[in-house]
């Protein structure tokens, strides 16, 4: 899963040109649970600095018809820049994430599970390590259910 992602983000275009405003896609893999999708989109609408976003990609992994319709409705009602991809067959979490990565056109991507709740300035804190050191290719929260400013980061030799 990550080999193609690393090749993409380590290409010369992505290592020499810093990301700019609006250059981050949020990737949300979904299988059923429309209540969690609703809660996450509501949270994103309240807490996300939209000037940093390119778009939100929701990967509906062949959910039932009720969930698929609910996701479409919630995406429109949210007022957020959302693209919904309905998979015809269930891919599983990893392949659904892979598909969303392939569809992203931003230099930065963040995977969000639907059960997460985000505080104000969460996106700025997630992007900070990536902006400070171009060798960082992965940053994630240390603690579950609490976003802190401490991150575990993975670096690669790109030069």
The CATH number of the domain where 7 resides is what? 3.90.550.10
Residue 159 lies in a domain: no
Q: Pick the closest to residue 5 from 74, 133, 124, 101 (CA basis).
A: 101
Whether this prediction's pTM lies above 0.95 is answered by no
User: Is the residue at 94 inside a domain?
Assistant: yes
- Provide the token pair at 146: 């609490």
Q: Taking phi first (over 0 means left), then psi (-120 to 50 degrees means alpha), and beta for anything else, what does residue 109 get?
A: beta
* Structural domain count, the chain: 1
Domain that holds residue 102: 2-12+21-118
**Any domain includes 27:** yes
Beta carbons of 50 and 78 less than 8 angstroms apart: no
**Is 47 inside any structural domain?**
yes
Query: For residue range 48-100, what is the model confidence (pLDDT) as tens digits?
Result: 888 888 899 999 999 999 999 999 999 999 999 999 999 999 999 999 999 99
Tell me, yes or no, whether 61 lies in a domain.
Answer: yes
């Amino acid at each position: 899963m990550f080999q193609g992602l690393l090749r993409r983000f380590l290409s010369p275009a992505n290592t020499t040109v810093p990301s700019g405003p609006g250059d981050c896609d949020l990737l949300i893999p979904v299988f059923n649970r429309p209540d969690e999708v609703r809660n996450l989109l509501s949270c994103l609408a309240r807490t996300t600095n939209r000037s940093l976003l390119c778009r939100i990609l929701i990967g509906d992994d062949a959910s039932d018809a009720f969930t698929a319709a609910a996701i479409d409705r919630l995406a429109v009602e949210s007022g957020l820049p959302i693209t919904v991809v309905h998979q015809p067959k269930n891919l599983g979490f990893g392949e659904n994430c892979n598909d969303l990565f392939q569809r992203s056109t931003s230099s930065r991507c963040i995977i969000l599970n639907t059960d997460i709740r985000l505080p104000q300035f969460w996106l700025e804190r997630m992007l900070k390590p990536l902006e400070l050191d171009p060798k960082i290719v992965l940053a994630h929260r240390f603690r579950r259910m609490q976003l802190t400013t401490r991150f575990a980061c993975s670096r690669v030799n790109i030069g």
